[in-house]
């Protein structure tokens, strides 16, 4: 092993251990921790975050990373080691401009924010969350300005954190293309919606049975319970300590069958990405998924492209019917498939169909952008949110819980994250187009054999962790760059077919 690289190991080990502790503390807060505990526990989180900061900002580490980035040293590193150096340097560069004291206070704030958000959401009261959100936005503005390079806009700094190379300029083009396809398509679809009756979805579905079916479903999809855990939280999410300990949450509603099912398929998609990272990478700074866009491509590939297809449900719909005989025996598979794909403007992003989904993302993108350009204040968020929903989707939230408070992201300080979902959907469509060419994709689904599909994704994407970025992964797989046309074509083709529209 390269001698300089060897000197990195203790830093990596320590930052991995501290990250593990912080990840578990955060998982615990979302899933289990008692309501009144966080005030004190956040102090420990502040101390551990501070310790992580000190570990990464060690001047010795800075020297090592600089040296290892030079060509001479690079030539003696393995591919995996190069990726580790690159990612560690990225973390270093992101953290270096931030004052240590601010980082600690911000970490403590975020540790407490999620339970404040959850409580505010339960009461549907934005005002209760606003002070925390204001603080978080101020920290993020400050950090983004400090991290900005060469006159970079602060919001571009945030976007780049989740998807390397993405800027408002690129996203404007990307979203413009999608909007110009989706809006007219949605008009045609809405005109035909009366013939789809999905009232079955809002019957009463016992939570226990949903839980049981969704455990089966996650396993069917490929989630390995020997290396993973399923729990429940206000907002579904995936996290992991390493590739042998991957955790997903779901949230079940008594009067909405789809919500639980598709959040489980979605999160299990994320989970398989992490489970399939190679052992060589897992405990290193290159051990997680590549970008958030790439991560969302995997979750949304399973949720939508696979999970909303008739082929996927063919072998298992009977089991769902058996789980809920009273609710579903009069709903044949064909009607269920129409129901889970019915495109209609709605209030909740996580429950949106594939066609209206990107509009939910565009709304959040535009709002965050205004917020970070000081064009609106935190207090104005509910009003702006509701107005945008009216403008883009023609629906209006009747309260904050189904409006501006619906998503967990802002409570976690994840500003600039939302576009990852749309980028992910686009990548998923592009991968799907390619996979259909190289394997009997639909046959596999109909046979209930997801192994070759998973194995393909493991081989071309998952195993590499974050040692390759989105561009490299797509190039490696199909010799192409990200191209949003596939997504537009996919949506157009799918909805034209489903709704029997004229081409």
Instruction: Name the residue nearer to its own copies (CB basis): 43 or 390.
Output: 43
| Interface pick for its own copies out of 3, 36, 195, 199 (rule CB under 8 A) | 36
Residues binding its own copies: number (CB under 8 A): 39
Q: Are strands 238-242 and 245-250 parallel, antiparallel or unpaired?
A: antiparallel
* Residue 242 within binding range of its own copies, rule CB under 8 A: yes
Instruction: Figure out which of the listed residues 227, 335, 409, 446 binds its own copies, where binding follows CB under 8 A.
Output: 227
Catalytic residue of the set 81, 108, 267, 354: 267
Q: Which stretch binds its own copies (CB under 8 A): 62-70, 228-236, 261-269, 441-449?
A: 228-236
User: At closest approach, how far in Å is the CB of 28 from its own copies?
Assistant: 6
Cβ-based neighbours of 350, under 8 Å, separated by 6 or more: 235, 236, 259, 263, 406, 407
**Is residue 13 involved in binding its own copies (CB under 8 A)?**
yes
Q: Which residue, among 209, 491, 473, 167, has the nearest Cα to 327 in the 3D structure?
A: 209
Q: Is residue 39 a contact point for its own copies (CB under 8 A)?
A: yes
36: its two tokens: 């009144």
Q: Is 267 a catalytic residue?
A: yes
Note whether 48 binds its own copies by CB under 8 A. yes
Q: Which two tokens stand for residue 317?
A: 């719909």
Distance CA 267, CA 247 (A): 9
Q: Applying CB under 8 A, which of residues 6, 28, 127, 379 lies at the interface with its own copies?
A: 28
Short-list 143, 129, 176, 270, CA closest to 484 = 176
Which member of 1, 6, 9, 47 binds its own copies (CB under 8 A)? 47
Nearer to its own copies by C-beta: 16 or 372? Answer: 16
Q: In the block, which residue shows the tokens 């590739």?
A: 243
Select the residue interacting with its own copies from 145, 179, 244, 335 (CB under 8 A): 244
Residue number, 34 or 59, with CB nearest to its own copies: 34
Residue among 235 and 242 whose Cβ is closer to its own copies? 242
Check binding of 283 to its own copies (CB under 8 A): yes
Residue from 420, 501, 499 nearest 195 by CA: 499
Kindly tell me which residue out of 4, 5, 8, 16 binds its own copies, with binding defined by CB under 8 A.
16
Phi-psi region of 124 (alpha: psi -120 to 50; beta: other; left: phi over 0): left
Secondary structure (DSSP) of 201-256: GGS---HHHHHHHHHHHHHHHT--TTSEEEEE-SS--EEEEETTEEEEEE--BTTB
Among 25, 86, 47, 415, residue whose Cα is nearest residue 239: 25
**Region from 102-110, 172-180, 243-251, 351-359 binding its own copies, contact rule CB under 8 A:** 243-251
Give me the least distance between CB of 27 and its own copies, in Å please.
Answer: 8
Q: Single out the residue of 3, 35, 72, 437 in contact with its own copies (rule: CB under 8 A).
A: 35
Task: Tell me if 51 contacts its own copies by CB under 8 A.
Answer: yes
Site string for its own copies, 425-464 (x = CB under 8 A): ----------------------------------------
Question: Distance (Å, rounded) from C-alpha 142 to C-alpha 140?
Answer: 5
Question: Is the separation of the CB atoms in 117 and 395 below 8 Å?
Answer: no
Q: Does 17 bind its own copies (CB under 8 A)?
A: yes
Contact 410, 349 (CB under 8 A): no
Is residue 44 a contact point for its own copies (CB under 8 A)? yes
Give the sheet arrangement for strand 228-232, strand by strand: 228-232, 245-250, 238-242
State the nearest-atom distance from the C-beta of 107 to its own copies, in Å.
11
Shortest CB 180 distance to its own copies, Å = 45
Complex with its own copies: residue 111 or 484, whichever CB lies closer: 111
CA 306 – CA 487 distance, rounded (Å) = 15
- Tokens for 252? 């079940």
Residues lying near its own copies in the complex (CB under 8 A) are found at 13-14, 16-18, 20-21, 24-25, 28, 32-37, 39-41, 43-45, 47-48, 51, 225-229, 231, 241-246, 282-283
Task: Point out the residues that are catalytic.
Answer: 267
């Amino acid at each position: 092993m390269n001698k300089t690289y060897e000197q990195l190991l203790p830093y990596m080990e320590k930052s991995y251990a501290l990250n593990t502790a912080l990840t578990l503390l955060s998982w615990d807060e979302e899933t289990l921790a008692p309501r009144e505990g966080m005030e004190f526990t956040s102090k420990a989180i502040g101390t551990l975050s501070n310790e992580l900061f000190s570990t990464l900002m060690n001047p010795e580490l800075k020297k090592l990373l600089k040296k290892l980035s030079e060509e001479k040293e690079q030539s003696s590193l393995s591919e995996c080691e190069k990726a580790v150096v690159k990612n560690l340097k990225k973390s270093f560069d992101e953290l270096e401009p931030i004052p240590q004291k601010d980082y600690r206070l911000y970490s403590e704030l975020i540790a407490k924010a999620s339970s404040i958000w959850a409580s505010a959401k339960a009461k549907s009261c934005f005002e209760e969350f606003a002070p925390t959100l204001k603080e978080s936005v101020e920290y993020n503005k400050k950090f983004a300005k400090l991290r900005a390079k060469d006159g970079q806009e602060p919001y571009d700094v945030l976007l780049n954190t989740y998807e390397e190379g993405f800027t408002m300029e690129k996203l404007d083009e990307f979203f413009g293309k999608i909007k110009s396809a989706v809006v007219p398509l949605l008009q045609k679809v809405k005109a035909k919606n009366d013939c789809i009756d999905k009232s079955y979805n809002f019957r009463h579905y016992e939570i226990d049975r949903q839980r049981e079916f969704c455990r089966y479903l996650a396993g069917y999809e490929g989630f390995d319970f020997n290396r993973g855990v399923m729990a429940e939280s206000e907002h579904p999410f995936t996290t992991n300590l390493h590739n042998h300990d991957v955790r997903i949450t779901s949230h079940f509603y008594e009067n909405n069958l789809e919500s639980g099912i598709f959040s489980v398929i979605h999160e299990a998609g994320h989970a398989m990405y992490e489970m399939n990272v190679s052992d060589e990478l897992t405990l290193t700074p290159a051990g997680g998924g590549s970008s958030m866009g790439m991560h969302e491509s995997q979750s949304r590939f399973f949720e939508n492209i696979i999970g909303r297809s008739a082929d996927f449900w063919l072998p298992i719909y009977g089991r769902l019917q058996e789980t809920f005989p009273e609710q579903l025996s009069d709903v044949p598979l064909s009607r269920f498939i129409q129901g889970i794909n019915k495109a209609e403007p709605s209030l909740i992003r996580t429950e949106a169909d594939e066609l209206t989904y990107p509009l939910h993302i565009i709304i959040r993108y535009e709002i965050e952008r205004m917020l970070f350009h000081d064009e609106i204040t935190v207090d104005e968020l509910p009003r702006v949110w509701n107005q945008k929903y009216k403008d883009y989707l023609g629906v209006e939230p009747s309260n904050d819980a189904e409006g501006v408070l619906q998503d967990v992201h802002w409570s976690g300080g994840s500003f600039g994250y939302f576009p990852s979902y749309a980028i992910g959907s686009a990548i998923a469509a592009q991968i799907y187009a390619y996979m259909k060419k190289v394997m009997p994709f639909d046959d596999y689904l109909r046979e209930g054999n997801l192994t070759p599909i998973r194995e393909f994704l493991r081989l071309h994407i998952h195993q590499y962790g974050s040692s390759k970025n989105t561009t490299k992964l797509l190039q490696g797989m199909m010799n192409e760059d990200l191209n949003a046309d596939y997504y537009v074509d996919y949506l157009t083709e799918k909805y034209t077919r489903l709704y029997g529209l004229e081409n």
